[in-house]
Amino acid sequence: MQSLKDYHYKNEFTSAFPGDESGDLSPRQTPGALYSKAIPTPVSKPELLAWTETLAEELEISYPEDEDIKILAGNKVTARMHPYAACYAGHQFGNWAGQLGDGRAITLGEWEHNGKPYELQLKGAGPTAYSRSADGRAVLRSSVREYLISEAMHHLGVPTTRALSLVTTGDKILRDMFYDGNAAYEQGAVVMRVSESFLRFGNFEILAARKEIENLQKLVHWTIERYYPHITGTQKIIPWFKEVIERTAQLIVEWHRVGFVHGVMNTDNMSILGQTIDYGPFSFLDDYDPGFTPNTTDLPGRRYAFGNQPSVGLWNLRRLATALNPLFEDSAELEEALNTYEDIFWNKYYKMMGNKLGLDEVKKEDKMLISDLEEILAKIKPDMTIFYQLLMDTPEDLSEVEQLMQHFGECFYTEPQAEMKTTLLALLKTYSVRRKTNKISVSETKELMRKTNPRFILRNYLLHQAIEELEQGKNELFEKLRTALKDPYSNKFDEFLKKRPDWATKKAGCSMLSCSS
């Protein structure tokens, strides 16, 4: 085990590419630079609120002492660190936004473990050259959300960045949560994020937009050699792009498996590694609603609603292809690769849904069953998590509406109309007959469903309650959630297997959030 303060960090990104080394934190354009040096701004009273032991043990990082906590808060930078903010661009809500960059994230350096580098990045440690008019800080509210969801997604088996620590700063931060003129001071905090890389589609977009083709080509080949070393041969870019397509498709399939809505799928929030990155106004589905978006900024268009995530994934990949296009004589190969997305996505999607339903394989007629099920669920809007838990133990003799309501009643937020009950009952009968044809046993069927359908999800109302308690100096619910999220497929934490309460339907921070969340 090594301490944060004594470790000899690597800085391969800053060594490989041109950057702005002035240390100037004033907002500005940085043409020709892939990053800008950014020294974190100290806070008044850093205190460690949470430390992720499992991740620390995996990377062999020792428990933080006083000097290490200063590092986690941004109050100390060691001689072997080279703190920087990355420069990137992006399409936000479908529109080109130009230069963006790490406005409140500062990468300290690279921690190598078993030959693999991991970037250690502080979120909320002060302004950078890309903060624009913002202060580069993060509030406790958004930091708790990011800390907990990063680890929750990891334990759900969804590709994600991780969170090593959560530190409170002792400072108050002014925030207008819904951009409605009602700003208020909130407690400040800093999260240390961990990933092999925080490169996103926007890192490539900015270079193409600026016509910095030499830097673009160098970044592409560096990314392949560093993170996709299995890709060999003289022509690597198309095979690499195809793998980015596949990873992106797989990521969104995993989101849909657990009912996750990212909320702000801008191209600058799309990881080149196919990880979930930049947690803001995210949510898990409570009631099953393909049109649900948790992001107030996404209204009324609902561009990033749950059901739109697959198509937005393709749209974003097209923007990445456009950025890569200058490296090719024509766009035919890139277009051909893009045309594989839908088949890749839907093949993965139906396999995932087959697992959720406990099917040994997905036949042509099963795809119709899945489609019919999703259609009826979108109409009756049961609690998604509870519905699939109850589906595992659907009675063999389910033949009457009364039986249907007796078994599934607890998952409904509003009792379905008679016609919808009848339709659902008929569909579940068909499903029951199909399940009996499985070439795997009943116990194997249920085990497949158990491993695929989470029993615990980090619901927004639970997060909101935990944040309110922390703001009052209490951490009981926060610690309970930290424990529960490590084992989301077991029945050990059924105190949380409940529908969203009525009071949370309209409460700020429970149903709707903003990009500042």
DSSP letters spanning 433-484: HHHHT-SS-HHHHHHHHHHHS-S----HHHHHHHHHHHHTT--HHHHHHHHH
63: its two tokens: 């428990």
Question: What is the spatial distance between Cα 345 and Cα 351, in angstroms, rounded to a whole number?
Answer: 10
Read off the DSSP letter of residue 196. S
Q: Are 48 and 64 in contact (CB under 8 A)?
A: yes
278: its two tokens: 């930049």
488: its two tokens: 């989301």
Q: What is the pLDDT of residue 225?
A: 97
Q: What is the pLDDT of residue 92?
A: 97
Name the pairing type of β-strands 47-51 and 162-175.
antiparallel
- Which residues have a Cβ under 8 Å from the Cβ of 186 and sit 6 or more positions away? 139, 140, 141, 172, 173, 174, 175
β-partners of residue 2 are 61
Please name which of 144, 405, 386, 93 lies closest in space to residue 259, comparing C-alpha atoms. Answer: 386
Does residue 268 have an active-site annotation? yes
Residues in the chain: 517
Q: Are 351 and 363 in contact (CB under 8 A)?
A: no
Q: How many CA atoms lie within 13 A of 418 on its CB side?
A: 0
Q: Are 505 and 169 in contact (CB under 8 A)?
A: no
Q: What is the pLDDT of residue 179?
A: 64
Q: How many CB atoms lie within 10 A of CB 343?
A: 10
Q: How many CA atoms lie within 13 A of 8 on its CB side?
A: 0
Q: What is the pLDDT of residue 506?
A: 81
First to last CA, the chain: 35
CA 3 vs CA 9, 62, 72, 80, 511: distances in Å: 11, 5, 12, 13, 40
β-partners of residue 412 are 382
Question: What is the spatial distance between Cα 307 and Cα 288, in angstroms, rounded to a whole number?
Answer: 10
Please list the rounded mean pLDDT of every run of 10 residues in the chain (517 residues).
96 98 97 98 98 98 97 98 98 97 98 95 98 94 97 98 98 81 90 98 98 98 97 95 98 98 98 97 97 93 97 98 97 97 98 98 97 98 98 92 95 97 97 96 97 98 97 96 98 97 86 67
Among 20, 68, 102, 268, the active-site one is 268
Read off the DSSP letter of residue 64. P
Domain ranges within the chain, ordered by starting residue? 12-198, 202-350, 361-437, 460-504
Q: What is the pLDDT of residue 513?
A: 81
Q: Are 150 and 193 in contact (CB under 8 A)?
A: yes
CA pseudo-torsion sign 19, 22, 26, 32? negative
Angle between helices 213-227 and 309-324 (to 10 degrees): 120
